[in-house]
Structure 1
Amino acid sequence: MHFLLLGATGRTGKHVVSELLSQGHTAVALVRTAGSLSPRAGLTIVTGSPLSKSDIQTALSAASSLIPSAAIITLNAVRKSESPFASQLSPPRFLADSCANVCEVMGNAGIRRIVVMSTAGVGDSWAKLPWLSKAFMGWTNVKYALEDHDLVDKEIRLTKMDWTLVRASRLEFDDPKKQKPADTKADVQTLGSNGVGMRMADSVSVSSAARFLVKVAVEGLFIKEAVVIRD
């Protein structure tokens, strides 16, 4: 399969690229900064913005004779630093407007499949989120990204796309000391749309999240559904 990727330079997006290419798929990645993604066989890189419909259109046709059959979006809001208290640099509707643009451009091209990385606490999963997690999100600048993810959640449901929203628990970088061979890595746990059973200690590694995003996109799972995941 051939995929359109947005957010391919991020901590999860880089793993999505590696996972797709290792499975023999191809991809075109729309990146905002030239040189932010290393060239690889099977990967076409286009510099542009997800806030520009013309840039997305350019990416769709960038790989000769290949038309994406699906998109995987792993965009996230940008803050001044990794600190949850750092001010946000992205526009308030960066995620929502980017997703809306992708849905419109792909829809006009007759492409319906889109898988979007979201976060636990969005939509109906907020009610089941542990209270400490709610406090953290409500009292820090993380709340602005959560609000944007909520807008994505609401708006994508109004489209005709075959969407999936993957609501990840707290993302963790992979620990090299705990790396397992690819054939022994366990699948993530899925908790449904509302995340019944979520715990304060829940997390998911970026590589686990990426494998799940690719699996959902390739196998056509959870169409028109949201799903909370954890390791």
Structure 2
Amino acid sequence: MRQDVSQKKTLAVLGATGATGRHVVSTALQRGHHVIALVRRAGTFEPTEGLSEVTWPEVTDVSALTRALPGTNVVISALGGADKGPTTVCTDGIRSAVTAMKAVGVARLIALSAHGVLETHDKSLYSLAVWANVAERMRDKETMEPLITASGLKWTIVRPPKLSDHDAIGKYRAGTNLPIRLWSSVGRADLAAFLVDEAETPRYACAYPRITR
């Protein structure tokens, strides 16, 4: 993992106020990037050099994103739905993002999904367990991913296992065929570092990297 880059970027973060999104924002700022944080309400973040807030009260609002994204190098989506009940936050948000990105000519999209969707929705103990606990959120990600892969954008879909809130370890493993076990997990801070790493230097364009500690 890198601490700085020679060329600073402008990163737009969807889901910026969520548990993972806040780590993405702070990590990108620490590395000297400019961050556009999409938020439901203005004043969510403390004023910080390099940080711009843009109000995005509804994930279906394409026009707000279209106004926010000009000049952006990379869009990182850390969107997530409600813990319980049906949700379409990821699907609706990515549909809006793809439309807005095409409208303003932003080509690079990194989206947070989850291991256990689509072809990884199998009979493994991990997949069985995650679907038993958060099936609605997994369905949302299953309908989100095809919107990304059909978009024509330069995309990366990151599929982590269970997320934890412990401090950054600074070490993780990533790869497209990484085994995910029932006990696999990764901290949100380390996941955020990986997302920003990928924004700085694309290694998994049009691929589905997994990450675990």
TM-score, normalization by structure 2: 0.89
Give the residue type in structure 2 aligned to 1:189: R
- Look up the match of 1:106: 101
Structure 2 regions of 5+ residues with no counterpart?
Answer: 1-8
Q: CA deviation at 1:152?
A: 1.2
Aligned length: 204
- Look up the match of 2:64: 55
Match of 2:20 among 12, 33, 50: 12
Q: CA deviation at 1:130?
A: 3.2
Match of 2:173 among 171, 176, 189: 189
Structure 1 regions of 5+ residues with no counterpart?
Answer: 62-66, 80-86
**Partner Cα distance (2:131, 2:110) in 1:** 26
What are the equivalent positions in structure 2 for 1:1-231 lying under 5 Å apart?
1-48=9-56, 49-61=58-70, 67-79=71-83, 87-88=84-85, 92-127=87-122, 130-131=124-125, 133-140=126-133, 142-175=134-167, 185-186=170-171, 188-192=172-176, 195-231=177-213
Q: Please give the per-residue CA displacement for 1:8-30, whole angstroms capped at 9, x wherever unaligned.
A: 11111111111111111101111
Q: CA deviation at 1:196?
A: 4.9
Q: CA deviation at 1:33?
A: 2.7
**Partner Cα distance (2:25, 2:34) in 1:** 9
C-alpha RMSD of the superposition: 1.7
Give the residue type in structure 2 aligned to 1:205: G
**Partner Cα distance (2:59, 2:50) in 1:** 21
**Partner Cα distance (1:207, 1:174) in 2:** 8
Identity over the aligned pairs, expressed in percent?
A: 27
Q: CA deviation at 1:227?
A: 1.1
Give the residue type in structure 1 aligned to 2:142: D
**Partner Cα distance (1:39, 1:221) in 2:** 32
Q: Is the 8 A contact 1:29 1:59 kept in 2?
A: no
